[in-house]
Amino acid sequence: MTANTQFDFDLKCGLLDDVLTIVDIERVMNTQEEQVGGFDLIWKNGPVRLPDSSTYSSLLGCHNNRRTQVKRLAKAAAKRLKTAKA
């Protein structure tokens, strides 16, 4: 893949990073995640539903900050791995 702008480069690298995070080779996720990077879970034994208090019925097409979400996922995984080793 080639990129012609810095934004395009960042977008493509983020996409690859998110895909490899979903593959979860290191087995750090707990399978309860509803969002990984820029991807949203939409089906798990049936459609994933948002809380009743939500205005929207889906997160598809919504802006999500993948960097914030990836940091949150990394912190949760680190905490889970730390307690598993103890």
Angle at 27 between CA 35 and CA 13, to 5 degrees: 55
pLDDT tier at 29 (50, 70, 90 boundaries)? confident
- pLDDT, average across residues 36-48: 80
Place of tokens 């493509």: 12
Residue type, 55: T
Q: Read off the pLDDT of each residue in 59-78 and give the average, rounded to a whole number.
A: 82
- Structural domain boundaries enclosing 72: 6-85
Q: What is the mean pLDDT of residues 16-45?
A: 83
Contact 36, 30 (CB under 8 A): no
Number of domains in the chain: 1
Q: Decide if 80 is inside a domain.
A: yes
Per-residue pLDDT, 4: 93
Q: What is the pLDDT of residue 86?
A: 67
* Inside any domain, residue 75: yes
Q: Is the pLDDT of residue 50 over 80?
A: no
How buried is 44 (Cβ within 10 angstroms: 0-12 exposed, 13-18 middle, 19+ buried)?
A: exposed
Mean pLDDT calculated for residue range 15-30: 86
